[in-house]
Structure 1
């Protein structure tokens, strides 16, 4: 798999599990890395990291100074091992230096060589926290961390030295710290004093590193399998969660519609029952008798009958509107609204402006065709309500998420096949 295809596959996975960016960067390193194991040397500024590296390699490759020098990743290949000298872990480093250090520790390193100057006493909070994270990481990735206590030659009081070593052992009981002196080792080499070389602790550290390096191929395979397993489990769980939420929302959607439809039927049935006394008349319908000029300002029987019709119709509208409001239908969709706000109601949109005569009431509420129309059009506005559209939007998002999850699963399988 080339780099461009790899980036596309990774982006498909990150779209679903963005919190795995570091793991995917590490996986890229494991899949595309060469055969060289990578040892990252980490620690605070002026704790002797670069000097220690030079002694381990046997050449003055890395810059040694009394001021802060390591501002970026310094890399050197020696005897089929890649050595990285990361920026210091000091609290005042720039953000870009933090990025370099993070990349060196979590993305590139197969082995972490954690350097702490014994003259500084116990591990501080930053060092302690990072070492705990590295110990925890070993449990899943099998990447080893070696804790190295440097500059022991600067501690003339052996009792103080032993006390500090013991305190650090209590701080990080899961790591056996190795105490070294790069200065003694250099002196022993230059003056041909094997005993000084032995007491420097560098030989024991080199042996520990050789063993750790021998474990890198097995650790890499374990880490790849673990990363794939963890990400697959997370994606699968996300799929289960989204499908469960989708099912729950779909059931809510169906139940809401069922409640609306059944409630509307009950309202329309009640309206029919309430209208029977109004519509059940014998003889002439006085409401149909028009007013004359002579009766224009009189309270005639016709006016009384038309008033009864209007009151009955208003009550029917109130019953229907109450049902609509209970189910979140409180207005027309934006594309149907007018400048006359009093007309921007679902009742007006479905029933019209007014009903004057008994035949209108009978047609609206007692004929099957009109009843079906009322149910259909009220249901239309129910589906256009804010709550229902929000529910549809949620379901659409879940559908997209499930589509992205399927793509992520395919992408992760492609990565596995590429290993």
Structure 2
């Protein structure tokens, strides 16, 4: 199997939960090519002599050299078991397309960076200082080395001026040593067979240093792999712990809210039970069941008084229950149970109905265990279907999904790590 065919699906699992690690994973993908030649990337601002320097280092004119902006994409050449990359000049393209290619060369492909600055330009500007500081920090973290190459030193008026510029740049270079070179002197020395000119060009010394640094690339790659895997793994572990904590907090909230609703409803129903006992425990004939006659239309009969008493008691019971439901967000029906009459689309109507209630109804619903259990079950059903509880269930499902995704990502990262060390 192609190593990339193995790498990419696993990396996708990690990216699904850690999209900010896209660059690190892309770098690990490059590092997975263990037998790839070490890559030397030359980086610097436009017209600072990067391409000319590369041509002298490889001993051939393979990189385009021009007074106008020439390199607009990554240009590469393989020589002496090294891969050489010539990136577009930093800030050369106002659309920042060139900068994007340069950043790719610096951060994705490079094992060694040659940071190029022309001596004639004097001190580093703000963008160069920022980049150099970032490269220095990356070197400390990943062991990818950056060599500061001061180019075009032959264009300085004299050695004193060169020393002055070099001292100013060294103060900005964050501890990196300067390697002064002249591509022109080197070319003239090669063409004229002048060894002193070759040595004075600084190119042979830079080539010797590069050979030493190249020997350190395999160990640096292993170290960088370990650092990247550790950093990504730490992030995934933190995300997993956060998702687990979130799920536990949501589950605890769900349990507490249900317990509060259930216990509160039980208390309300028990209070209603006690309040209704004097009404439902009637000895003898029930006046409420005696129908009124036509002659009783305008008279206050015993039956009317008793039915009114039952109705008031039932209304109070409903008010107490509804207050508890509202407190817990259980009022309207789910969308799939609603009718065209809004006043009927309530949990109270769905459970209690709209029919006239008599003493036997009150006794059966509120005073008998079976009736109380039925009310509890019905209201709990609509409690679970309430908007708040549905949202909480969705949040729980999301948290659980995040846990599962993080678990898959951790497993994928472990397999990537094992593949890298195999």
1:323 aligns with 2:324: yes
**CA positional deviation for 1:282:** 4.3
What per-residue deviation string (whole Å, max 9, x for no partner) do you get for residues 130-164 of structure 1?
21111111122110011111112222154443333
1:265 aligned residue: 266
Query: For 1:34-183, what aligned pairs fall within 5 Å after superposition?
Result: 34-90=35-91, 92-183=93-184
Q: CA RMSD in A?
A: 1.7
Q: Is the 8 A contact 2:92 2:98 kept in 1?
A: no
Give, in whole Å, the separation in 2 of the partners of 1:64 and 1:387.
68
Taking structure 1 as reference, are residues 39 and 93 closer, same or farther at Cα in structure 2, changes over 3 Å only? farther
Give, in whole Å, the separation in 1 of the partners of 2:324 and 2:172.
68
Taking structure 1 as reference, are residues 103 and 298 closer, same or farther at Cα in structure 2, changes over 3 Å only? same
Give, in whole Å, the separation in 1 of the partners of 2:169 and 2:27.
30
Give, in whole Å, the separation in 2 of the partners of 1:19 and 1:186.
45
TM-score normalised by structure 1 residue count: 0.95
Taking structure 1 as reference, are residues 190 and 361 closer, same or farther at Cα in structure 2, changes over 3 Å only? same
Structure 1 segments of 4 or more deviating over 6 A? none
More displaced stretch, 394-403 vs 165-174:
165-174
Q: Is the 8 A contact 2:46 2:92 kept in 1?
A: no
Q: Is the 8 A contact 1:152 1:161 kept in 2?
A: yes
Gap runs ≥5 in structure 2:
none
Figure out how many residues of one structure are paired with residues of the other and give that number.
Answer: 419
TM-score normalised by structure 2 residue count: 0.95
1:19 aligned residue: 20
Give, in whole Å, the separation in 1 of the partners of 2:364 and 2:299.
30
Give, in whole Å, the separation in 2 of the partners of 1:173 and 1:103.
23
**CA positional deviation for 1:55:** 0.9
Give, in whole Å, the separation in 2 of the partners of 1:70 and 1:92.
11
**CA positional deviation for 1:283:** 4.2
Give, in whole Å, the separation in 1 of the partners of 2:419 and 2:30.
13
Give, in whole Å, the separation in 2 of the partners of 1:414 and 1:233.
16
Taking structure 1 as reference, are residues 297 and 166 closer, same or farther at Cα in structure 2, changes over 3 Å only? farther
Q: Is the 8 A contact 1:71 1:87 kept in 2?
A: yes
Gap runs ≥5 in structure 1:
none
More displaced stretch, 57-66 vs 7-16:
7-16
Give, in whole Å, the separation in 2 of the partners of 1:33 and 1:330.
64
Give, in whole Å, the separation in 1 of the partners of 2:162 and 2:331.
79
Q: Is the 8 A contact 1:355 1:361 kept in 2?
A: no
Give, in whole Å, the separation in 1 of the partners of 2:89 and 2:274.
85
What per-residue deviation string (whole Å, max 9, x for no partner) do you get for residues 232-265 of structure 1?
2222222222112111111111111111111111
